[in-house]
Amino acid sequence: MKKKTETLLALLNGQPVIPVLKIDDLAQAVPLARALVNGGLPAIEITLRTPVALEALRAVSREVPEAIVSAGTILSGEDFNNAVAAGAKFIVSPGSTAELLDTADRSDVPFLPGAATPSEIMVLKARGYEILKFFPAEQSGGAPFVKALASPLAGVRFCPTGGISLKNAGDYLTLPNVICVGGSWVAPDADLKNGNWTRIEELAREAAGLRKG
């Protein structure tokens, strides 16, 4: 577990924002990933919310080697294994189940499970997890809630995701127990639809410039 934690820490600590992507058109995957990488956000999350998600993950892994592509919205052990087979460098889930945790234990690929309550965080901490996704962030109390967790749950760091934008990302990134945030604002639906990769690269560069700590 320690080795996987160190690997995940290195991946997430490299940038303040992890783009959370919902790809409906497979043709968008590679140019989108390239735009984000060029903008300074190589670590990206492709969510398994569409029929083409696994193919998108596979295409980015194959054609954009400089991208650190992860799979999100992983809900089962089967999802986990399929994403790893498609090339995911780490796995992200909105929560955790016994099946997911057992699958993660058997894999060398780091797992970022989600939690939204102290009890959920304590259970995962007892399993050896030191880095968690805090989801849904804004709806679960936002930055003040995450700040309140720092003292009683020392040693746990978070990647808050859900309802985060350029406007409020800084509220999280200033917290000592936040390593990065996840957000979809760097790839707006309209720009995706129109193939406006230059605009997405600009948004990525702006997000990459956010300061942590």
The number of CA neighbours under 13 Å toward the Cβ of 49 is 13
Task: Quote the CA–CA distance of 206 and 166 in Å, as a whole number.
Answer: 9
Q: Go through 30-52 and write b for each residue having 16 or more CB atoms within 10 A of its CB, e for each that does not.
A: bebbbbbbbbbbbbbbbbbebeb
206 as an active site residue: the answer is no
Task: Quote the CA–CA distance of 128 and 80 in Å, as a whole number.
Answer: 19
CA dist 98 → 8, 42, 177 (Å):
21, 31, 25
SS3 21: strand
How many Cβ atoms are within 10 Å of 93's Cβ, its own excluded? 25
Catalytic residue (one of 4, 22, 89, 133): 133
147 as an active site residue: the answer is no
Task: Quote the CA–CA distance of 93 and 70 in Å, as a whole number.
Answer: 11
Residue 78: which residues within 8 A CB-CB, separation 6 or more?
none
Catalytic residue (one of 4, 45, 138, 201): 45
Positions marked active-site:
45, 133
